Chain A
Amino acid sequence: MSNYIVKRIAVSLGLIWFVMSLIFFLVHSLPGDAILALGGDRPESMSKEQREFMLHELGLDRPLYIQYMDWLGKAVQGDFGVSISSKRPVLRDVLVCVPRTVELAVGALLIGFPLGITAGVVTALHRNSRADVLINGTFVMLGSLPVYITGIVLLLVFGLYLGWVPTGGFVELSENWTAHLRLLILPSLTLGLWLGAVAARMTRHAMLEVLSQDYIRTAFSKGLARRTVHFSHALRNALIPVVTATGLQIGSLLGGAVLTETVYTWPGLGSMFVSAVLQSNYPVIQGVVVIMVTAFVFTNLAVDLFIGCLDPRISRR
């Protein structure tokens, strides 16, 4: 087990290093002026000497590998430079947005898991019934539609048409928590429905597989109640692959968060990322990508280790 954990952690760190290097490479594939702009200056208004001085000041005339080591050293410490738009250190801006995206992800998980698992169990227990076809069909559709389409439809129906929830704006949690949570409902539902669709499909499949096993027949034949067999024999075993597969969707959840936050103008990490890209705010792009990938890699690691605890066979492989 401990061997397995060490290996998984090493792979995770390797992944983060890979992404950091990719970002470094991408930054240095930019034309020189754009790199100068990273320092917050206006390269177009500089004389030739000024330019050279600036390049020297910023260390851009040093050999590439030294720049690389330098960049890596700073990035590891969370120093991604200063945001071009806000003039504040990138890390500070990013850290303001992180909790908002975490809230969204937690909301999605709280909606998606119970919804998906319930739907999966119901459809598996009533296989090929009308309810199965209907629920399964709906979830297949929800799972394959892009989140921004589900998001816009929800927003139009519940926000604009029914007027149950506000259609935009943002209130800090500390200012007015009820208003804050009201704003969070639709974005969480949007991502949650998508996550639920993935979970429902997996649960249905896993339940059907488990229900056809011998030990389920044994449990029935020794006279256990239907409910006991379904829930404590079947569901418990079916949940392992569900947790794995759904947990590994957290990366897509991040991608979905970018789209969902844009639909609902929720000022999280995703919105910040998109506006940074649109403004060519390279320091922020670097920071957000590294933070997102790090978060993603470590959630995957957590899911893996959690699965390892649930099912000891996996970590022994």
Chain B
Amino acid sequence: MAEATEASARRGRAAHRRKWRSGRLLISGAIIFFFAAIAILAPLLAQYDPFRVFSGQVLKGPSAAHWLGTDGLGRSTASRLVYGARASLQVAFFAVVIAALGGTSLGIISAYYGGLVDMIIMRAMDLILCLPMMILVIAVVAFMGNSITNLILVIGVLYIPGTARILYTTALSIRQTQYVQAAQAVGATVPRIMLRHIFPNAIAPLFVHITLSLGFVILTETGLSFLGLGPPPPTATWGRMIAEGRSYVHRQPLPLILSMTAVSIVILALNVLGDALRDILDPRLRGSATIKTGL
């Protein structure tokens, strides 16, 4: 009797966990979808040009003319928030695409060939992984300039090693499987084995990693913008809104509060989404502690 209740309680807890997992996935996914839509549709959604200065309407509260008020230069806060989403998500998306392409190819190539190729590629990756990312990004941006394209390139390239590590570990175990050996035995070409056999089976961890990376890249981009090293003015970025909003927070806190909220929500949602995806796609890692850092 006691055992039966125990078992049913356990089943109930498992069902509860499943529900919690899919709920997490839906909510965080919806939030990201919402922000992505805002970023893509920015020109349609924004009430005004984000650079347009309404002189005489500095630091106003919400009104019919300015839904979320204006900032220290009399620019529409709502429009700048919307375009800020565009800047952040744009950098994050393209940087992660670069990291995914580069990391996937390097990871799979070194796992497949092994030996000297493996040693050279993966040692180089480890080397870069050992360095303080933020410092390196700032240093490179300092010399190469801080246009959006440069930011995407720099961050993208510096995120390659992380992706390569993940793909490498996965590809290494796939390489040992019988279906890969079978493909080799029937004479499949190397690119075919990599693209048709190894890559499709490595997509799950790649996907999880990409989602988490998006969060880190947004952190890096908003951090750089906050320092004044992000996309150059007058581009609207959340990081710069936060930096500027600080100086007039006692007179009009809205730009500061809203931009900080936007950054926090997007980053938390991406972290939760990444976790939820990992639980679903990669059950082996369920519950393992990833270090999610705010830097």
**Beta-carbon contact of A23 and B289 below 8 Å:** no
**Shortest distance from the beta carbon of B230 to any chain A beta carbon, whole Å:** 12
Question: Is residue B142 within 8 Å, beta carbon to beta carbon, of the partner chain?
Answer: yes
**Beta-carbon contact of B139 and A285 below 8 Å:** yes
Question: Is residue A292 within 8 Å, beta carbon to beta carbon, of the partner chain?
Answer: yes
Of the listed residues B136, B227, B246, the one surrounded by the most CB atoms of chain A closer than 10 A to its CB is B227
CA distance in complex: A160, B295 (Å):
25
**Beta-carbon contact of A30 and B229 below 8 Å:** no
Option from A152, A205, A276, A278 in Cβ contact (under 8 Å) with B256: A152
Main secondary structure of the interface of A (DSSP, over half): helix
> Interface digits, A264-296 against B, CB 8 Å rule (1 contact, 0 not)?
000000000110111010100100010011001
| Range of interface residues on B (Cβ < 8 Å) | 35 or more
Question: Is residue A86 within 8 Å, beta carbon to beta carbon, of the partner chain?
Answer: no
CA distance in complex: A142, B228 (Å):
24
**Beta-carbon contact of B291 and A254 below 8 Å:** no
Question: Is residue A149 within 8 Å, beta carbon to beta carbon, of the partner chain?
Answer: yes
Given A144-B215, A146-B267, answer yes or no on A254-B289 (Cβ-Cβ < 8 Å).
Answer: no
Question: Is residue A262 within 8 Å, beta carbon to beta carbon, of the partner chain?
Answer: yes
Of the listed residues B133, B223, B246, B288, the one surrounded by the most CB atoms of chain A closer than 10 A to its CB is B223
Main secondary structure of the interface of B (DSSP, over half): helix
**Beta-carbon contact of A252 and B295 below 8 Å:** yes
**Beta-carbon contact of A255 and B135 below 8 Å:** yes
CB-CB contacts below 8 Å: A3-20 with B: 14-15, 18-19
Chain A residues near B (Cβ < 8 Å): 14-15, 18-19, 22-23, 26-27, 29-30, 140-150, 152-153, 156, 160, 194, 197-198, 201-202, 204-205, 245, 249, 251-256, 258-259, 262, 273-274, 276-278, 280, 282, 285, 289, 292-293, 296-297, 300
A-B contact pairs, 26 of them (CB 8 A): A18-B127, A26-B139, A26-B143, A144-B267, A144-B268, A144-B271, A145-B267, A146-B226, A147-B294, A147-B295, A148-B226, A149-B242, A149-B263, A152-B242, A152-B246, A156-B249, A255-B132, A256-B134, A256-B294, A262-B227, A282-B142, A285-B139, A289-B135, A296-B131, A296-B132, A300-B130
